[in-house]
């Protein structure tokens, strides 16, 4: 799973970007001013940076320049209300890879971000197959033995997370944050119930070992041995 850092000082814009990138399958980091954005980039090394230009502290040009001075090569997409060609050129000169003017289409921004991730080999498969089941990420559908099985949005996001992180133990805090974000109160019991429902929808025969297995009392892990990317026919590897 790719990690994106969003550096934006407008709270409403930040919430919209964070929700959309999280729903698309990214791990999301945030920063609300220039110094925090630069510090987070240097510390966390995200796979992608979405960077506003007009920021408190230091502006986006300075943040971008500071990132490149440390020889970090992750893609940087700049966001700005500025529309002069000279502003675009300046952004590109200091190391930005792309430039999106406000107001913009979130679908366009996500498409540009995904294009960068594909070129870096970090986009997830569009279809997962495992144990007679099929999860289609683009169509947002889930099938078992060819029959469509309805999933709630939370169940879909959780199953997708487990498939993206197949074989990797995930704590309940990690699951809560990735599936529901920070703005919802979700108890550990809610997570346990959702996992139980997913296991039932994946495999109705309770005599079979569940593919989403408990890791002690702390979290869960999806059985990576059951998972295949239909697009390549290869087993999905664990992405840490």
The arithmetic mean of pLDDT across residues 175-204, rounded, is 86
Per-residue confidence band for 121, with pLDDT thresholds at 50, 70 and 90: low
Task: For the chain, give the percent of residues with pLDDT over 90.
Answer: 42
92-128: b or e for each residue (b if 16 or more CB lie within 10 Å)? Answer: eebbbbbbbeeeeeeeebbebbbebbeeeebebbeeb
Q: What is the mean pLDDT of the chain?
A: 85
User: Positive or negative, the Cα torsion across 209, 213, 216, 217?
Assistant: negative
Q: Please give the structure tokens belonging to residue 19.
A: 């929700």
The arithmetic mean of pLDDT across residues 207-219, rounded, is 85
**Which has more confidence, 122 or 37?**
37
pLDDT in tens, 129-179: 888 899 988 788 999 999 999 999 889 999 998 988 887 888 898 898 888
Say what the pLDDT of residue 124 is.
64
Say what the pLDDT of residue 78 is.
92
Instruction: Determine if residue 75 is left, alpha or beta; phi over 0 gives left, psi from -120 to 50 gives alpha, anything else beta.
Output: beta
Q: Please give the structure tokens belonging to residue 216.
A: 């002690």
Contacts of residue 78, Cβ cutoff 8 Å, sequence gap at least 6: 51, 52, 53, 60, 64, 91, 96, 98, 99, 100
What's the CA gap between 41 and 226, in Å, rounded? 35
pLDDT in tens, 73-88: 899 999 987 666 777 7
Per-residue confidence band for 51, with pLDDT thresholds at 50, 70 and 90: very high
pLDDT in tens, 91-106: 788 889 888 888 888 8
* Domains of the chain and any CATH numbers: 3-119 (3.40.50.2300), 127-235 (1.10.10.10)
Residue 232 has pLDDT above 50, yes or no: no
Query: Phi and psi at residue 170, in whole multiples of 5°?
Result: -120, 125
213-234: b or e for each residue (b if 16 or more CB lie within 10 Å)? Answer: eeeeeebbbbbbebbbbeeeee
């Amino acid at each position: 799973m790719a990690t994106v850092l969003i550096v934006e000082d407008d709270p409403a814009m930040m919430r919209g970007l964070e929700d959309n990138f999280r729903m698309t399958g990214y791990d999301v980091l945030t920063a609300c001013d220039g110094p925090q954005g630069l510090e987070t980039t240097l510390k966390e090394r995200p796979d992608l940076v979405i960077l506003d230009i007009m920021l408190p502290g230091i502006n986006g040009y300075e943040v971008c320049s500071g990132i490149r001075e440390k020889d970090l090569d992750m893609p940087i997409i700049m966001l700005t209300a500025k529309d002069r060609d000279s502003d675009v050129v300046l952004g590109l000169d200091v190391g930005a890879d792309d430039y999106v003017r406000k107001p913009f289409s979130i679908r366009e921004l996500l498409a540009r971000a995904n294009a960068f991730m594909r070129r870096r080999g970090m986009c997830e498969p569009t279809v997962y197959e495992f144990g007679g089941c099929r999860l289609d990420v683009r169509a947002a559908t889930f099938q078992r033995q060819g029959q469509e099985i309805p999933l709630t949005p939370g169940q879909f996001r959780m199953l997708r997370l487990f498939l993206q992180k197949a074989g990797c133990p995930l704590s309940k805090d990690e699951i809560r944050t990735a599936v529901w974000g920070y703005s919802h109160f979700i108890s550990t019991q809610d997570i346990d119930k959702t996992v139980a429902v997913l296991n039932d929808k994946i495999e109705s025969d309770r005599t079979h070992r569940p593919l989403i297995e408990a890791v002690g009392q702390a979290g869960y892990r999806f059985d990576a041995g059951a998972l295949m990317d239909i697009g390549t026919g290869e087993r999905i590897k664990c992405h840490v």
